[in-house]
């Protein structure tokens, strides 16, 4: 099987598994226990925190471990909502956010918050000028804009947005879940106040995340209890997973330092070049210059993404449709709609996402199988490109 769905989740790195194992066995102790074994587990958590902090250029005490990326986003957004209140504040976000930001923001709007959603250009990047206008008009409030989009991999102009937010006294959160570990993210260079991380997007397991809180920012905990994580997220620590996240962060930092991600980008570019050269009616979506190295978002004229996904699965290639599949029916996603991509083109797209484990041989083999799947789909379709004739489960 050729796995090309790394924006959905990544394979856990064998060194991460190895690092986690002792904490399911011998080192099972509660990190709050005062005896030596407890203290040694506590030290392992501190080391993991140090690694996560180093990956993004933060201080150790600015990192809070969470249960997942969705939790990180909800924690910060709900805290900001409580701090700013709904009377005079504005919540500013982008139209292409993940549901882990869209939904909590929607819930705020439902209870009376003023919400402004900024649009994107054809390349899928937020319009800074529009963001500036919204900030200027807002009395006070907070903003949440993602670092890299999960569907297209397009990197947002976060530096510019942060600076505008700062000028206007607007607190700034970024969902960096598809960026951390894939591209350089450094909070010393980008003045975000809050940043969300998820382990399973860069070779740690699912169910572990982190939240960066810049020193001095105001924060209201969502989960209160025993005071773990400096009182910012109570609950006995998920030690093996925290250790796993620390190991994944260390591996990602070393890979980024060696520019190992250039190899992933080279494989992605090779994939795109071959698809464009060898299949008619292929369109590459999203910015070419501002994107993480792991993602290709491709439309195949006259095909339906959901159908191609099934044909490719049968042929041993795992990818995602380029747009969300709602109630079993392929719908153009909110991201593609926002980019002005036609419904037809959106529905015919695939998200093909790579990792450090993807080889050139796999890419070449995947291209051959995609060529066959597209040919098969188009022959069944009769080349008209209108109306699906294949029935999908």
Ligand X SMILES: Cc1ncc(COP(=O)(O)O)c(C=O)c1O
Under the criterion CB under 6 A, does residue 68 sit at the interface with ligand X?
yes
User: Which of residues 13, 42, 49, 98 is near ligand X by CB under 6 A?
Assistant: 98
Say which residue the tokens 């982008």 belong to. 94
Q: Which long-range contacts (CB under 8 A, 24 or more apart) does 18-27 make?
A: 19/243, 19/244, 19/246, 19/247, 20/205, 20/240, 20/241, 20/243, 20/244, 20/247, 21/240, 23/239, 23/240, 23/243, 24/240, 27/239
Binders of ligand X: how many residues, by CB under 6 A? 13
Under the criterion CB under 6 A, does residue 171 sit at the interface with ligand X?
no
Of 5 and 193, nearer to ligand X (C-beta) is 5
Cβ-based neighbours of 50, under 8 Å, separated by 6 or more: 60, 246
User: Which of residues 69, 104, 240, 244 is near ligand X by CB under 6 A?
Assistant: 69
- How far apart are CB 372 and ligand X at their closest, in Å? 29
Closest Cα to residue 116, out of 100, 129, 99, 130? 130
Q: Does 135 qualify as catalytic in the annotation?
A: no
Of 64 and 275, nearer to ligand X (C-beta) is 64
Question: Cα angle at 84 between 79 and 87, to 5 degrees?
Answer: 135
Q: Are 291 and 179 in contact (CB under 8 A)?
A: no
Catalytic-labelled residue, pool 118, 295, 303, 325: 325
Binding mask 20-59 for ligand X (x = CB under 6 A): ----------------------------------------
Chain position whose Cβ is nearest to ligand X: 69
Under the criterion CB under 6 A, does residue 2 sit at the interface with ligand X?
no
User: Which of residues 41, 56, 120, 177 is near ligand X by CB under 6 A?
Assistant: 177
Count the helices and strands in the chain (H runs, E runs): 12, 15
- How far apart are CB 40 and ligand X at their closest, in Å? 28
Name the one range near ligand X by CB under 6 A: 65-73, 117-125, 133-141, 287-295: 65-73
User: Which of residues 79, 90, 150, 267 is near ligand X by CB under 6 A?
Assistant: 150
User: Which of residues 90, 178, 287, 321 is near ligand X by CB under 6 A?
Assistant: 178
Total residues belonging to the chain: 393
Site for ligand X in 183-222 (CB under 6 A): 198, 200, 209
| Dihedral of alpha carbons 331, 335, 341, 347, sign | negative
**Residues with a known catalytic role:** 325
Judged by the rule CB under 6 A, the positions of this chain that interact with ligand X are 68-70, 98, 100, 146, 150, 175, 177-178, 198, 200, 209
């Amino acid at each position: 099987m050729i796995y090309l769905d790394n924006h959905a989740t990544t394979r856990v790195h064998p060194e991460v598994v190895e690092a986690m194992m002792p904490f399911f066995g011998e080192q099972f102790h509660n990190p709050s226990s005062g005896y030596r074994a407890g203290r040694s587990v506590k030290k392992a958590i501190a080391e993991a925190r140090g690694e996560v902090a180093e990956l993004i250029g933060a201080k150790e005490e600015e990192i809070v471990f969470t249960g997942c990326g969705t939790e990180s986003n909800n924690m910060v957004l709900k805290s900001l909502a409580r701090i700013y209140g709904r009377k005079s504040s504005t919540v500013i976000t982008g139209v292409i956010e993940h549901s882990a930001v869209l939904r909590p923001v929607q819930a705020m709007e439902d209870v009376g918050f003023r919400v402004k959603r900024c649009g994107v250009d054809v390349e899928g990047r937020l319009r800074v000028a529009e963001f500036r206008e919204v900030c200027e008009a807002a009395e006070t409030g907070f903003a949440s804009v993602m670092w890299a989009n999960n569907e297209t991999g397009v990197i947002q102009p976060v530096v510019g947005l942060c600076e505008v937010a700062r000028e206007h006294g607007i607190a700034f959160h970024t969902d960096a879940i598809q960026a951390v570990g894939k591209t350089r993210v450094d909070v010393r260079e980008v003045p975000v106040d809050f940043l969300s991380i998820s382990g399973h997007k860069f070779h740690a397991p699912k169910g572990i995340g982190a939240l960066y809180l810049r020193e001095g920012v105001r924060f209201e905990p969502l989960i209160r209890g025993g005071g773990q994580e400096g009182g910012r997220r109570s609950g006995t620590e998920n030690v093996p997973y925290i250790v796993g996240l620390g190991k994944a962060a260390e591996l990602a930092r070393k890979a980024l330092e060696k520019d190992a991600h250039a190899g992933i980008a080279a494989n992605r570019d090779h994939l795109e070049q071959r698809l464009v050269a060898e299949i008619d009616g292929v369109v590459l979506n999203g910015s070419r210059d501002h994107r993480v190295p792991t993602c290709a978002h491709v439309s195949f004229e006259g095909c339906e993404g959901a159908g191609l996904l099934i044909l490719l699965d049968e042929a041993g290639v795992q990818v995602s449709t380029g747009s969300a599949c709602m109630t079993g029916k392929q719908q153009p996603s909110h991201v593609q709609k926002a980019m002005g991509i036609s419904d037809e083109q959106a529905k015919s797209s695939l998200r093909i996402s790579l990792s450090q484990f993807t080889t050139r041989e796999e890419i070449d083999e995947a291209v051959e199988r995609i060529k066959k799947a597209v040919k098969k789909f188009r022959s069944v379709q009769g080349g008209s490109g209108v109306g699906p004739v294949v029935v999908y489960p």
